[in-house]
Structure 1
Amino acid sequence: MIVVLMGYMGSGKSTIGKELATLLNYSFLDLDDYISEKENASISKVFETKGEIYFRKKETEYLKEVIESSENLVLALGGGTPCYGNNMAILTNNQNIASFYLKLSIPNLAKRLFTEREKRPLISHLKSEEDLLEFIGKHIFERVQFYNKAHFTITTDNKTKQDIFEEILMQLI
């Protein structure tokens, strides 16, 4: 079984994923980390030097590679992964995959991301929380149709990690 976590940046995919993997006694993999390792460059460097089209093609290639060679894995996707190519079809048509959309409200995403925007190339140029709110709102509007195709949606606002783990585990039974 592969448990796939998707959602907007800052929604907790990696944080929840690592602990969930430990609970399930599964391996954990962050797709962005895997891509960085394979490309010998950070995601922002790949975008900068080779462009987004190259990155998105590689992202799909590596996603397939991970899925085909893995079992008992918790996989955290990049925020944009579900939105490109046939990535959602790859995820939803595989009976060995349970996909979860970790849904956090836009105001809570903005609060969480504002302090760490320097580490996130997509939002590092935004100077105010209002600009960040607007950016996230537009982005989620474009992406939500893909996120909503996940097998399950877990709304994470005002929930503890334990609450989120329990919700995910209930769906896996």
Structure 2
Amino acid sequence: MKIILIGYMGSGKTTIGKRLSNYLEVKFLDLDDYIEEAEEMSIREIFKNRGEVYFRKKETEYLREVLDQNEDFVLSVGGGTPCFGINMQLINDATPNSVYIKSDLNVLSDRLMKEKEKRPLIADIAPEEFQEFIAKHLFERSFFYNQAHHTISNQNKTVEEVVIEIQKVLV
């Protein structure tokens, strides 16, 4: 069984994915971590030194590599992964268990403001423009996120509650 969690940055994909993989007793993978290990650079360094186009090409390459594995896993992908090239198609073709972790704009803005320096796409956004940027970006990406096989809102829910909901919809 391959379960792929998608959603905007800060939606909790990694936290939820780790917990879900523990419950299901399968491997957990984070695509960003996988890319950093393969490229021997942080995502931030890749963006800075090689640019976003390079990163997105490598992201698709590594996504294919992970999806081709013949073992069960829970995979958390970056917030932008489903939105570029054929990545969303690759995800949905690989499994009937793609799950969009849907989060509220205010929750995302609050979480991301606290860690924005760690995230290349938002590191330089001015505080007064931050929530508007997140709202616009989330709207643009929703088209892709909504192509997931399942949507689970994490609004006012614990990680355990979200994990239980995901388990109920798995095919």
Name the TM-score class by shorter chain: over 0.9
What is the deviation of 1:126? Answer: 2.8
* Conservation of the 8 A alpha-carbon contact between 2:15 and 2:159: no
* Conservation of the 8 A alpha-carbon contact between 2:47 and 2:120: no
**Structure 2 length as normaliser, TM-score?**
0.96
| 3-state DSSP of counterpart to 1:123 | coil
CA distance in 1, matches of 2:43, 2:118: 11
Percent identical residues? 52
Alignment length (residue pairs): 171
Identify unmatched segments of 5+ residues in structure 2: none
* Conservation of the 8 A alpha-carbon contact between 1:101 and 1:150: yes
Counterpart for residue 61 of structure 2: 61
Identify unmatched segments of 5+ residues in structure 1: none
Structure 2 residue 77 is the aligned partner of structure 1 residue 77: yes
What is the deviation of 1:127? Answer: 3.8
Paired residue type of 2:56: R
What is the deviation of 1:70? Answer: 4.0
* Conservation of the 8 A alpha-carbon contact between 1:36 and 1:43: yes
CA distance in 2, matches of 1:69, 1:163: 29
1:129-165 CA-to-partner distances (Å, cap 9, x unmatched) read: x422101111011100000000000011101111101
Counterpart for residue 110 of structure 1: 109
CA distance in 1, matches of 2:17, 2:105: 21
- Corresponding residue to 2:150 among 149, 152, 157: 152
* Conservation of the 8 A alpha-carbon contact between 1:4 and 1:97: no
- Corresponding residue to 2:132 among 122, 131, 134: 134
1:85-122 CA-to-partner distances (Å, cap 9, x unmatched) read: 1011111123x441000000111100111111122122
CA distance in 2, matches of 1:103, 1:125: 25
**Structure 1 length as normaliser, TM-score?**
0.95
CA distance in 1, matches of 2:119, 2:60: 21
1:40-73 CA-to-partner distances (Å, cap 9, x unmatched) read: 1011111111111111111011000001014210
